[in-house]
């Protein structure tokens, strides 16, 4: 057997698939690799195979052999997501109404107001300005405060805790962040039970059949999922449009293309490429494109590779805001499709549409090669994005 490829793959361009990953993908759909922890795993890179196994009950988020589980990566994944694995369908049913179109439409007006305020502040500054700090970071925080009913004075605290909980390089920091986040959510839920408002947490508290532990867990999940991932995607989305000015002009000429452009940006955005992919464990022996995987084996489902599979997306590394992106796996697939996708989409549509309209000549203030991706967190994103206009 060939020597397993060593993760992580070197990312030579932060907006492009790592060359080593692209080479592996050209050679097949499943590959033996060695993780940063030294474990062997199966890296799945084919679109059809990743799509299948994102919604396959023969795989589990948790290692079927608890004694073999490493104390590494993000405590958020191991703790929070794992806690709902056994009751996923019910939790999904509970959450879906909170992302209903009518709720997102009502929230959109507030997102538009917040975006304008942030862009007004940006316009009053002297360039270069870090777009991550002035738009990508504060907007999702403020939106979550409004939607969930989190006091605005607490936004910096829960921002830090979610970032810590998502840390994939420091297990102790990740566990501490998760613990702080849960503790805060416990107090928040207790306050909402006493003084309910017109917000998502209060509505969860009023949901029949949910106990306090479940409400707290769902609150923590919403705080994390609605914040960290959106921060990362706003930053990389803005960069993709700035570095593809002809595509930006297409949107300026026809704003009705914004929803499709957001789907293309999501397809192209890079979650943390150092992670290798979404971890899953085989619960039974199975076969992937002629390769036998044994029960207990670790699989890494690589969304980046799947979303850049040339058999599904023509010229996949080219930004095309008119592209048909129905096959994108950014939000998962099947029963594990991200329930919060409508909220993320809506924020990206508003933020990017208003950004390019207000700042049609905005461009990176440094060479793109000098920008860096965050490798310490699950969601990736840019460390900073200095811009000028």
SS3 163: helix
pLDDT in the model for residue 82: 52
Q: What is the average per-residue pLDDT within 42-49?
A: 98
Q: How confident is the model at residue 86 (pLDDT cuts 50, 70, 90)?
A: low
pLDDT in the model for residue 72: 46
Relative to beta strand 129-130, strand 386-388 is antiparallel
Rg (CA), the chain: 21
pLDDT at 79 over 60: no
Q: What is the largest CA-CA distance in the chain?
A: 62
The hierarchical CATH code for the domain 5-388 is 1.10.630.10
- Phi-psi group of 8: left, alpha or beta (phi > 0 → left; psi -120 to 50 → alpha; rest → beta): beta
Q: What is the distance between the terminal CA atoms of the chain, rounded to a whole angstrom?
A: 54
pLDDT in the model for residue 206: 95
Ordered alpha helix ranges (H), the chain = 19-27, 47-53, 75, 82-83, 88-95, 101-123, 131, 138-148, 155-165, 171-194, 200-205, 212-225, 228-242, 245-253, 258-268, 303-307, 341-358
Highest mean pLDDT among 71-80, 214-223, 292-301: 292-301
Task: Give the model confidence (pLDDT) of 2-24 as tens digits.
Answer: 799 999 998 888 889 999 999 99
Task: Give the model confidence (pLDDT) of 130-159 as tens digits.
Answer: 999 999 999 999 999 999 999 999 988 888
What is the rounded CA–CA span in Å between residue 198 and residue 202? 7
pLDDT in the model for residue 164: 86
Q: 221: closest CA among 42, 106, 84, 46?
A: 84
Residues for the chain: how many in total? Answer: 389
Q: 298: closest CA among 4, 9, 1, 81?
A: 4
Q: Model-level pTM greater than 0.95?
A: no
DSSP state of 76: I
Domain locations in the chain as residue ranges: 5-388
What distances in angstroms separate CA 375 from CA 176, 201, 276, 289, one per listed residue? 19, 31, 11, 31
More confident residue, 69 or 141: 141
More confident residue, 89 or 85: 89
């Amino acid at each position: 057997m060939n020597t397993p490829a060593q993760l992580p793959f070197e990312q030579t361009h932060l907006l492009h698939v790592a060359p080593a990953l692209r080479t592996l993908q050209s050679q097949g759909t499943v590959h033996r690799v060695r993780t940063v922890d030294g474990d062997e795993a199966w890296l799945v890179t084919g679109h059809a195979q990743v799509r299948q196994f994102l919604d396959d009950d023969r795989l589990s988020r948790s290692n079927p052999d608890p004694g073999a589980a490493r104390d590494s990566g993000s405590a958020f994944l191991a703790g929070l997501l794992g806690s709902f694995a056994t009751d996923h369908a019910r939790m999904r049913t509970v959450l879906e109404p909170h992302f209903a179109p009518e709720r997102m439409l009502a929230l959109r007006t507030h997102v538009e107001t917040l975006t304008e305020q942030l862009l007004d502040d940006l316009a009053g500054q002297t360039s270069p300005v870090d777009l991550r700090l002035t738009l990508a970071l504060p907007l999702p925080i403020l939106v979550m405060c409004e939607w969930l009913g989190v006091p605005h004075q607490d936004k910096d605290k829960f921002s830090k805790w979610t970032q810590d909980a998502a840390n994939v390089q420091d297990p102790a920091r990740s566990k501490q962040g998760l613990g702080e986040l849960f503790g805060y959510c416990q107090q928040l839920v207790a306050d909402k039970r006493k003084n309910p408002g017109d917000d998502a947490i209060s509505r969860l508290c009023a949901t029949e059949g949910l106990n306090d532990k479940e409400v707290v867990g769902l609150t923590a999940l919403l705080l994390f999922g609605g914040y960290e991932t959106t921060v990362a995607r706003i930053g990389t989305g803005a960069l993709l449009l700035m570095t593809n000015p002809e595509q930006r002009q297409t949107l300026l000429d026809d704003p009705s293309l914004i929803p499709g452009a957001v789907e293309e940006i999501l397809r192209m955005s890079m979650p943390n490429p150092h992670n290798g992919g979404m971890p899953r464990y085989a619960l039974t022996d199975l076969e992937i494109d002629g390769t036998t995987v044994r029960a207990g084996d670790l699989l890494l489902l690589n969304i980046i590779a799947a979303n850049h599979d040339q058999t599904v997306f023509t010229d996949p590394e080219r930004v095309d805001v008119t592209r048909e992106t129905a096959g994108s796996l950014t939000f998962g697939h099947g029963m594990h499709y991200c329930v919060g996708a409508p909220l993320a989409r809506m924020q990206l549509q508003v933020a990017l549409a208003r950004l390019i309209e207000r700042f049609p000549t905005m461009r990176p203030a440094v060479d793109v090669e000098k920008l860096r991706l965050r490798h310490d967190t699950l969601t990736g994103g840019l460390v900073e994005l200095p811009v000028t206009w």
